[in-house]
Structure 1
Amino acid sequence: MSQAIGWNNFVDTETQAEHRRLRLLERIFDPFSLRQLEGLGVEPGWQCLEVGAGAGSLARRMAELAGPGNVVATDLSLKFLDPLTELGVTVLRHDVTTDEAPGEFDLIHTRFVLDHLPGREDVIKRMASWLKPGGWLLLEIGTTMPELSSHPATRRSMAVLTRVMTERVGTAAEWGRTLPVPLEAAGLVDCAAEGSILPARGGEPLAHWLMNTTKLVEPHALATGLITREQLDEAFALYETPSFVDYTWMTVAARGRRP
């Protein structure tokens, strides 16, 4: 197995292509995320932390709900977060695995971050310790399910995506399916979880996002012989074909409250 090097060493997180992929991610997954956030009853004055803010949409919504001066948005790359600073949100370069707490919070949220981190259970415990009494930790984790693909080509390409992300980034593709147990192990209460599976229909946003995410591992996968150019092109063609539908990506949202 190749040594894992982490997300920011494997993906160039500051390219315009990555910005487009993040904006597409927001378009697809924000409705589910916003329902989770708003379900916790965020009010003006809540101190909120967005870990791994990406292109900034969820921190922006937190600012609308709680007030921009009450929101901290962190990431290892801040290239796409200048608009948040202009709103009055505090934007910090911060490593959730090692850096000190950036404050005390009523709500901490992170999406598609912990599944790529080593020691993710310890990171949950760290974030739980940053909560005020009664504060909420809300996690969203992605999990690939290539075995459910409706076509051999996309089954193969998603299996390769999962393998490369596991070996080179350190991603735990199935870890989200253990939630909310890790939140309970961190001492949180009122824990619950919900899964969402959307149809990836050819030519539509989720299919395009899955194709663009697979392109992140394309050079490594081709160079190491995990997949051929022809096999990958067949999968990409399906992601553009309106008659193709797949259900191979699940988002799990889990929440827990500090007693």
Structure 2
Amino acid sequence: MTESVSWTSYVDTRAQVEHERLTLLQEVFDPFSAQLLDRVGVAPGWQCLEIGAGAGSVARMLADRAGPGNVTATDMSTDFLEPLASSGIRVMYHDVTVDEPPGEFDLIHSRFVLEHLTRREEALRRMASWLKPGGWLVVECGAPAPELASDPVVGRALTAMAAMMSRLVGTNPTWARRLPLPLEDAGLVDCTAEAHVVPTRGGAPMARWLAATNRLVEEPAVDSGAATADEMATAYAAYADPSYVDYTWLTVAAMGRRAD
């Protein structure tokens, strides 16, 4: 049985509003992803796999570095990835938890995927096994930190979002804080990890992305009592107000190499 289907069943991955949310995600997090790809030295001719490619921006980065014919972009919903195929990138519907390996790769990258899988460490081991000797696995995972919110009401709304994602999708909002240990457990070497924080300032893309992500779970959060409608409204107002700033979202990136 698939372990990823709960996300694509819960979120309408074909909706325009979801495309807009993913576009904001790319605007916020692509610069850090690009730094990671450059750090491992992605070069022309590298065989690259992007897992959970979303709206396709990281796959395009890989194509710029390795050549489009050397890049495979996979997801459980490929509607937003179809434009990549015309550039020569291989686009595949693929479930990382159960489907056959899509090849062997010099680099495998995923962003905000593993934390949403219930058997995430098993999926990570599968990904590691698809590396060529010397190949790199780079994973980025979200770790919300509502306790750091400058407004406690915004913190409660973020706590509710994490709780609802956990209940409805199977997300583990704290798993990323164990990195890089799962990569080491998967047999990779030279493993490192670091956390990256983008300020959440009202009206900026980061705040707008968090607001859009909150809206994915607003109704069940209010219905279950995890947050009140007034608390959600207060959070949305803060996310729209340029005078609001906090640092409540960690992106934890880890990388490791398969031994030669």
- Which residue does the alignment assign to 2:76? 76
Partner of 1:224: 224
Alignment partner, residue 116 of structure 1: 116
Q: Which residue of 2 aligns with 1:255?
A: 255
The secondary structure found in structure 1 opposite 2:86 is helix
Note the C-alpha offset of 1:14.
1.0
Superposition map of 1:56-205 within 5 A: 56-205=56-205
Which amino acid counterpart does residue 52 of structure 1 have in structure 2? G
Contact 1:5–1:168 under 8 Å retained in 2: no
State the partner residue of 2:51: 51
Task: Report the TM-score, using the length of structure 2 for normalisation.
Answer: 0.97
Q: Which moved more, 1:66-75 or 1:226-235?
A: 226-235
CA distance in 2, matches of 1:216, 1:207: 15
8 Å CA contact 1:116, 1:169 repeated in 2: yes
The residue type paired with residue 213 of structure 1 is T
- Structure 1 vs Structure 2 CA RMSD: 1.1
Distance 1:174 1:6 in 2: 19
CA distance, structure 1, for counterparts of residue 42 and residue 203 of structure 2: 35
* Of 228-237 and 20-29, the range deviating more from structure 2: 228-237
Which amino acid counterpart does residue 147 of structure 1 have in structure 2?
Answer: E
Q: Deviations over 1:125-167 (max 9, x none)?
A: 1011100000000000001111111112101100100100111
Residue number in structure 1 paired with 2:34: 34
Structure 1 runs (4+) deviating above 4 angstroms are none
Residue matched to 1:16:
16
SS at match of 1:87: coil
CA-CA distance at 1:186 after TM superposition:
0.4
Query: Are the aligned partners of 1:144 and 1:249 in contact in 2 as well (CA < 8 Å)?
Result: yes
Offset at residue 227 of structure 1 (A): 1.8
Q: Check 1:91–1:5 CA distance in 2 against 1; reply closer, same or farther (3 A cut).
A: closer
Superposed displacement of residue 223, structure 1: 2.1
Unaligned stretches of 5+ residues in structure 1 = none
Deviations 1:53-96 (A, max 9, x none): 00000001101111111100000001101111010000000000
Moved more, 225-234 or 46-55: 225-234
Residue 170 (structure 1) shift? 0.5
* Aligned sequence identity (%): 56
The answer to whether the 8 A contact 1:115-1:176 is kept is yes
Matches of 1:202 and 1:23 in 2, distance apart?
18
The offset of 1:224, in angstroms, is 2.1
Give ranges in structure 2 of 5+ residues lacking alignment: none
How big is the shift at 1:10?
1.5
Q: TM-score, normalised by structure 1?
A: 0.97
Counterparts of 2:21 and 2:5 in 1: how far apart (Å)? Answer: 21
Q: Secondary structure at the match of 2:139?
A: strand
Q: Is the 8 A contact 1:5 1:170 kept in 2?
A: no
**Whole-angstrom CA distance in 2 between matches of 1:8 and 1:161:** 17
Query: Using the alignment, how far apart are the partners of 1:11 and 1:238 within structure 2?
Result: 25
Cα deviation for residue 6 of structure 1 reads 2.2
Output the amino acid matched with 2:14: E
- Contact between 1:138 and 1:255, CA under 8 Å: does it hold in 2? yes
